[in-house]
Amino acid sequence: MNVPGFAISREASAWIKGVAILLMLAHHLFGLPSLIEPPNAFTPLIPGVPLEYWIGRFGKICVGLFLLVSGYGFAVGGSGQGVRWFASRAWRFLLAYWPYFLLAYTIGSLFFQERMANGNLRFPVDIVGIALNALTLKNTMAFEWWFAETYLLLVLLTPLLLRAAGHRSAMLAGSAVLFAVGSAMDLAKIDLPVVSLSNLLIWQLPWVMGMLLGGPLPARMAEALISPTLGWAALAGMLAGFAVVERFAGFAMTPFLILASPVFAVALVTLTGAHKRPGPVRWLGGYTLGLWLVHPFFCYYFFQSEIYAPGWSALVFGALLFASLGVVLLVELLRNSAARMFHRKYA
């Protein structure tokens, strides 16, 4: 998997994903106050201190963590595999995605249909609109689903990226240049009409950084990654950097968090040790896809008033987590039951 010293095991990967999904919930609940429609609101833990907002802002690092861990996993598990193997992984993702798509589309089109500011229906009724959403090429149903298209494109592009992985410095430099191009496109509002090229160019960077972590590492780098002293120093530097960016350059928060995602991921593996034993966070890591797909409809589109009704921020967070998790566990139960029936019939 990697040179002796540093590796992200399956357990550590699940732990990182569990942390990431909790940060995602905090980000969407507390880090984007303009999306909380009055009179919905929450009471902070510490009066006068915007702790929840800071955690929510930092929570945007969740996307970088997901992509970094995924890039690492595909570099380790996909090495030596052909294009067909990666296509099968993309297909498996769609098979997991479609039940949530059908559930959200059915409930939304029947009970929560609305016309958006651009004049289009949130839940399209034309075949082309439905198909584009089902194939992740559009995300009109929930803006937060943009990630699906980018993830699938990165999976399908990984065979090409693996060929370049032997030239580590050049690959990282090229990835940084593409990231800059994508960021410029995003600022200028330039993009393709269907596939978001700017998203792909921006978010390939944490994926590539994860792939490079998954390849052979120089001995000194591997040793540094497992050094508690350097780990704590890097983590402290990352948090200090977050505070500086938040205070003086808030517009640069997303690029900063993308660059900080490897530091945070390595710290979670090296410093906490929590991934080495079963626990609720690691368990949640097995349900990140469903939680990511379901939670926007609770906190934004369908039931925002009910989610914020408890008032106190900790209870609001708990309401979103448990409501989303309840739906996910039910969908996964039905999905797994259907898969077992299919295999028994056609095995």
Dig out the tokens for 109 from the structure.
Answer: 């089109």
Q: Which of 279, 156, 245, 261 is nearest to 210 (CA)?
A: 261
DSSP 135: T
DSSP 244: H
Determine the pLDDT at residue 270: 87
How far apart (Å, rounded) are the C-alpha atoms in residues 224 and 212?
Answer: 15
How far apart (Å, rounded) are the C-alpha atoms in residues 237 and 332?
Answer: 40
Is residue 298 very low, low, confident or very high in pLDDT (cuts 50, 70, 90)? very high
Determine the pLDDT at residue 1: 40
Give yes or no for residue 346 having a pLDDT over 70. no
Long-range contacts of residues 105-111, Cβ cutoff 8 Å, at least 24 apart: 105/130, 105/133, 105/141, 107/297, 107/302, 108/141, 108/297, 108/301, 108/302, 111/302
| Cβ(22)–Cβ(279) below 8 Å | no
Q: Give 251-291 pLDDT, tens digit per residue.
A: 999 999 999 999 999 899 888 887 888 899 999 999 999 99
How far apart (Å, rounded) are the C-alpha atoms in residues 124 and 114?
Answer: 10
Percent of the chain, pLDDT > 90? 79
How far apart (Å, rounded) are the C-alpha atoms in residues 66 and 198?
Answer: 18
How far apart (Å, rounded) are the C-alpha atoms in residues 3 and 222?
Answer: 7
Give yes or no for residue 28 having a pLDDT over 50. yes
Q: Which of 11, 21, 6, 12 is nearest to 296 (CA)?
A: 21
Based on C-alpha coordinates, what's the Rg of the chain?
A: 20
Q: Give 302-312 pLDDT, tens digit per residue.
A: 999 999 999 99
Percent of the chain, pLDDT > 70? 96
Q: Which residue has the higher pLDDT, 340 or 211?
A: 211
Burial class (CB in 10 A: 0-12, 13-18, 19+), 29: buried
Determine the pLDDT at residue 216: 73
Q: Give 117-159 pLDDT, tens digit per residue.
A: 889 999 999 999 999 999 999 999 999 999 999 999 999 999 9
Tell me the β-bridge partners of 312.
Answer: 43
Determine the pLDDT at residue 219: 67
Is residue 5 very low, low, confident or very high in pLDDT (cuts 50, 70, 90)? low
Per-residue DSSP letters for 81-92? --HHHHHHHHHH
Q: Give 222-246 pLDDT, tens digit per residue.
A: 667 778 888 898 899 999 999 999 9
